[in-house]
Structure 1
Amino acid sequence: MPVVLCVVCTFLYFSALFVNVVALPPSPPCEPVEPPPENRWLLLVRLQSFVGSWDMDAQLANALEIPLHLLETSQPKTWPSPADTAKLQSSVWATAMVISYFEHRLADQKDEWELLVQKAHSWLLAQACSVQPGSTVARQLCDRLLELAKQAIESSVV
């Protein structure tokens, strides 16, 4: 009889464990956690394209902590050149804004993002060269565009 009692007790014990495990309510789904400000650059790393640029979209606006409509309305229509005829693509402006954001709002973390920005600068320069051939003129275009982006980043409007 003791063996039968032991088997019954074991069965009841494990049945109770199974009921407790099954009866537990499911845990709530995990919400994505916003990285702390010191890791904000990681959001921008994830958004950078293979070629070194960024696209103007809601994810970028969120990462820059700037409303998308302000990013879009702050974009110049053309490259900042004397002729002002070459249309400025939104990815060019987005990339200039990100470079300025890194340089002016995340300057204390430069060691972490410096290579990323070098790649972005190279891409931006290539875009400027397609508008104004010649490295000197293209660099001037980039410098002017980055100055406009810096003003937009620093201003209270953006």
Structure 2
Amino acid sequence: MSPRLSPEPAAEESPLLRLVSLQNADGSWDLDSQLAAALGVSDTDTRGRMPSEDVAPGVWATVLAVVWLNGRAVGQRKEWELLEAKAVGWVRGRAGPWLSECLEAANALLGCSVGPAVFGL
């Protein structure tokens, strides 16, 4: 008879895994409290720092996620680069003239310095 194994405590989910698990099939993210928690900011801040009411919430959320990936998970790039490519393609088709402003606001909110080249600007 083999010894009984005690269950190991569940490891806390990594911030990267938490963020990646929230991505939609089309490459976008939704602006909600789960995203805010994964980014390490408040839901109020994610909504309040959106650069314009003309920006769709999904566009803003996706820019935030891409900036976070490039600013906070750069060492794990191989794990998320394909997800990022899908997200960037999705956001570029929808952000219109607001992409630069979204990038600037996302960098300010997340304390990152991601350059415009990430979005092909």
Q: Mark yes or no: TM-score above 0.5.
A: yes
Q: State the Cα deviation string for residues 67-108 of structure 1 (Å, max 9, x = none).
A: 101111111115xxxxxxxx1011111111111000011111
What pairs up with 1:29-48 in 2 under 5 angstroms? 34-35=12-13, 39-48=14-23
TM-score, normalized by length of structure 1?
0.59
- Consecutive unaligned residues in structure 1, runs of 5 or more: 1-30, 79-86, 133-140
Alignment-derived partner of residue 76 in structure 1: 51
- Following the alignment from structure 1 to structure 2, what is the Cα–Cα distance between the partners of residues 121 and 52? 8
TM-score, normalized by length of structure 2?
0.76
* Percent sequence identity over aligned pairs: 34
Kindly report structure 1 stretches of 4+ aligned residues shifted beyond 6 Å: none
Counterpart check, 1:153 vs 2:114: no
- Following the alignment from structure 2 to structure 1, what is the Cα–Cα distance between the partners of residues 79 and 24? 18
- Consecutive unaligned residues in structure 2, runs of 5 or more: 1-8, 113-121
Aligned length: 104
- Corresponding residue SS for 1:127: coil
- Following the alignment from structure 1 to structure 2, what is the Cα–Cα distance between the partners of residues 147 and 77? 12
- Following the alignment from structure 2 to structure 1, what is the Cα–Cα distance between the partners of residues 31 and 43? 8
| Distance verdict in 2 for CA 1:76–1:144, change over 3 Å | closer
Q: State the Cα deviation string for residues 9-51 of structure 1 (Å, max 9, x = none).
A: xxxxxxxxxxxxxxxxxxxxxx97631xxx3211111111111
